[in-house]
Amino acid sequence: MSVEKSRVFIVDDDDAVRDSLCLLFKTVDIEAIGFESGDKFLLEFDADWQGCIILDIRMPGTSGLEVQKLLSERDCTLPIIFITGHGDVPMAVEAMQLGAFDFIQKPFRDQELMDRVAEALSSNEENKEEVLQKRHVTERYATLTPRETEVMQCVVKGQANKVIALDLEVSQRTVEIHRARVMEKMAARSLAALVRMSLLLEN
Amino acid sequence: MTETTQAPIEPSGAVQLDPVLDAMVESMIVIDEQGLIERINKATTDMFGYTTEELVGQSIGLLMTGPDKSHHVDYLERYRKTGKKRIIGKGREVQAQRKDGTKFPADIAVGEVRSGKLIRFVGLIRDLTEHRQVEEQALRQREEMVNVSRLSMMGEMAAAMAHELNQPLTAIANYAAASIRLLKQNKDSHEDILGALEEIVSQTHRAGEVIRRTRNFTKSGEAINEGTSLKKIAAQIRSLAELDTKANNIRLNWNILDDLPPINVNSVQIQQVILNLIRNAVDAMQDTPPDKRIITVRAKLTAPQQIRLEVRDEGSGVSENAAKDIFNTFFTTKTTGMGMGLAICRTIVRTHGGELGFHNNNRYTSSEGATFFFTIPTQVNR
């Protein structure tokens, strides 16, 4: 997985608002890119992008809420901060229910926005870790044989080797061998680590 | 049973008329060819405060005031000479005067009674005082309603304006905050700061422009503007309407011809009607997909002396049920509406001598949106 630099993607149809936000981020050495419409952003959007999105909720053409829905269909995990105007609170609430990171009302204090963006960026970092980890675990899981997969599923349920042997109608010794293989292939140092991995796979 | 006037039956079988005439609410006066009073009923003495003796033999002019005093006698004179009917057979409104000198509006209807060579006239007079009061009260209420609706619409416009003002304010705050940060950092960011300050200046003007646009609308105006143009009146509210349409992702097409003849209207009221129709169109398109959200405002000459302005939407149209009641006060299909808008619009348009109407864009279904229109007579017609 290529490691993309964190950036702030600003989607707002108002030239002055967009441009002034870019300048504001420049003062804190955060790279910001402006998009004048939701459609332009969706056209260029790449799932590998890292950072966060600042999205105007009211725009001509594709609205902020619609951009959010389309992004989630494309498995975008970037946190979205909505910019809302006077009287847009019901829309903002809907956006939050759909998984938006936060919303901020116009006009806002620069520090307030900076703080939210900082939070969003660190949330994206954590998220990025998790995504990377999940990807590695999934890759390793795919190398297990069908029998090893069965054994792993029983192990993470907390079943003892004796019970697993009875269930799978094999000797206890065979179970031990499979179990050692699973730990090795999954690069799990302990049973707890293996359980964590299985949880990651379930999500 | 209480006392009832019993009309005695004459031998011929005809009802004796005096008690009937005295039971009438309207004043009845019989005059001769010269306009002299021959007979009156009881309502006449009640209405004018004279006794029967004081009136019989007097000129009918005694009961009138101002120009009506002499006119009536003149009318009779002319009729006798030329046979031309001026007031005979039809009602007419006059200023009547009581014995004590007080005046009141009255409706008078005169009929002709011929018996042989003898011509008499019978006048029926109705006191219009109460009628007038009711009319005036209704007019006052209508004016109040118009004001209330204008205020509520201004509230909605204010919300749209607040949204529009937020844009430049946000940009100004951002530019200023960025400049402060740059100055504190003490780096060589002269260019950036200069650019930001220039933007602040231009965004301030932009905010001022938003406020200026609304000024025309909030100015209260009662008077009729003689010889004004519909294009000009509509242009003054175009940007206000655009605030509303833009906030709802709607494209607003504007097509008002340049060469429309002048009209005499109360500009503010007509603007209110146009805004109201646009507002309704916006509301009707809440469930319309974004690419179909279009409102078209069009005005043209539809008859030699009539301008028609229409507002077409691509919204939910008018259902057969709603169509029946749509202009009734307090009828609404909206969840937050008061049901005043169209009723008031119709009142305004009618006082200007025009008509307000609508039709669905497709006569077989309401699903293709509706067009609301009103007509206004051009100046020559009034």
- CB contact under 8 Å between B162 and A87, yes or no, is yes
Q: Are residues A17 and A82 in the same domain?
A: yes
Tell me if A27 and B170 make a contact (CB, 8 A cut-off). no
pLDDT at residue B373 tops 50:
yes
Q: Binning pLDDT at 50, 70 and 90, where does residue B319 land? A: confident
Tens of pLDDT, residue by residue over A131-179, are 788 888 998 999 999 999 999 999 999 899 999 999 999 999 999 999 9
Average pLDDT over residues B285-293: 86
Instruction: Nearest by CB to B167, from A14, A23, A87: name it.
Output: A14
Do A117 and A171 have their domain in common?
A: no
Specify the 3-state DSSP secondary structure of A117: helix
Considering chain B, tell me which residue range(s) the CATH 3.30.450.20 domain(s) occupy: 18-127
Residue A135 covered by a domain? no
- Alpha carbon B10 to chain centroid, angstroms: 54
Interatomic CA distance for residues B22 and B52, integer angstroms: 12
DSSP category for residue B17: S
Is there a contact between B210 and B218 (Cβ–Cβ < 8 Å)? no
- pLDDT at B7 exceeding the cut of 60: no
Residues A89 and A55 in one domain: yes
Please name which of B167, B209, B157, B245 lies closest in space to residue A56, comparing C-alpha atoms. B167
Selected residue of B156, B165, B167 to mutate for chain A interface (largest A Cβ count, 10 A): B167
Given B162, B167, B247, which is nearest A17 (Cβ)?
B167
Interval B167-191: pLDDT, tens: 899 999 999 999 999 999 988 889 9
Region of poorest pLDDT, from B177-181, B237-241, B368-372: B237-241
Which of A16, A24, A85 is facing B203, going by the closest CB pair?
A16
Residue A68 located in a structural domain: yes
Q: Is the pLDDT of residue B159 over 90?
A: no
Give yes or no: residues A118 and A171 share one domain: no
What value does the mean pLDDT take over residues A110-135? Answer: 88
Q: Are residues A19 and A74 in the same domain?
A: yes
A178 in the same domain as A97: no
CATH number, position A81: 3.40.50.2300
Share of residues in chain B with pLDDT > 70 (%): 81
Q: Are residues A81 and A180 in the same domain?
A: no
Average pLDDT over residues A45-73: 90
A120 and A28 housed in the same domain: yes
Contacts of B249 in chain A (CB under 8 A): 59-61, 63
Structure tokens at B173: 């705050």
Question: Which of A126, A152, A182 finishes a domain?
Answer: A126
Region B43-66: mean pLDDT is 89
Reported as a single tens digit per residue, the pLDDT across B204-233 is 998 988 787 666 555 545 567 778 888 888
How far apart, in whole angstroms, are the C-alpha atoms of residue B72 and residue B53?
A: 21
**Residue at a domain's end among A95, A126, A157:** A126
A113 and A179 share a domain? no
Q: Are residues A80 and A161 in the same domain?
A: no
Distance from CA of A136 to the nearest CA of B (A): 42
Q: How confident is the model at residue B157 (pLDDT cuts 50, 70, 90)?
A: low
State yes or no: pLDDT of A66 exceeds 70.
Answer: yes
* Chain B positions in Cβ-Cβ contact with residue A67 (cut-off 8 Å): none
For residue A88, give every residue at least 6 positions away whose Cβ sits within 8 Å of its Cβ, in sequence order, or none: A57, A58, A105
Q: Is residue A138 part of a domain?
A: no
pLDDT at residue B171, as a whole number: 95
Q: Which residues of B touch A17 (CB under 8 A)?
A: 167, 170-171, 174
Residue of B nearest to A104 (CA): B170
Q: Are A96 and A23 members of one domain?
A: yes
* Contact status of B69 with chain A (Cβ, < 8 Å): no
Determine, yes or no, domain membership for A71. Answer: yes
Give the residue from A56, A138, A28 showing the smallest Cα distance to B170.
A56
CB contact under 8 A, B249 and A63: yes
Task: With respect to residue A134, please indicate whether it lies within any of the assigned structural domains.
Answer: no
Amino acid (1-letter code) at residue B188:
D
CA distance B19 to B172: 87
Last residue of a domain, one of A76, A93, A126: A126
**Signed CA dihedral, B9, B11, B14, B17: sign only:** negative
| CATH number of the B222-382 domain | 3.30.565.10
Q: What does B43-80 look like in DSSP terms, one character per residue?
A: HHHHHH---HHHHTTSBGGGGB-THHHHHHHHHHHHHH
Is A27's CB within 8 Å of B199's CB? no
Å from B264 to nearest chain A CA? 37
**Given pLDDT bands bounded at 50, 70 and 90, which one contains residue B129?**
confident
C-beta contacts of A190-195 below 8 A and 24+ residues apart: A191/A155, A194/A152, A194/A155, A194/A156, A195/A156
Domain that holds residue A67: 6-126
Query: Would you state the pLDDT for residue B74?
Result: 75
Q: What is the pLDDT of residues B327-360, one digit of tens each?
A: 765 556 655 554 567 877 888 888 888 999 999 9
How many A-B residue pairs are in contact by the CB < 8 A criterion?
Answer: 81
Q: Are A116 and A176 members of one domain?
A: no
Tell which A residues from 109 to 128 touch B, by Cβ distance under 8 Å.
109-110
ipTM of the complex: 0.71
| 3 state SS of B124 | strand
CATH topology of domain B18-127: Beta-Lactamase (3.30.450)
Amino acid at A85: G
pTM: 0.51
φ, ψ of residue B28 to 5 degrees: the values are: -120, 130
Domain count, chain A: 2
Which domain CATH number covers A148? 1.10.10.10
In a domain, A40, yes or no: yes
**Mean pLDDT in residue range B317-323:** 80
State how far residue A57 is from chain B, nearest Cα, in angstroms: 10
Query: Which residue among A17, A23, A60 places its CB closest to the CB of B246?
Result: A60
Task: Select B129-220's CATH number: 1.10.287, 1.20.1280, 3.10.450, 3.55.50.
Answer: 1.10.287
Interface of A with B in 71-110 (CB under 8 A): 83, 85-87, 106-110
- Note the Cα A133 to chain centre separation in Å: 12
Q: Specify the pLDDT at position B14.
A: 55
Q: Is residue A131 part of a domain?
A: no
Beta-carbon contacts of A109 under 8 Å, excluding residues fewer than 6 positions away, are B173, B177
Q: Judge whether B309 and B255 are in contact, CB under 8 Å.
A: no
Q: What is the DSSP letter of B248?
A: T
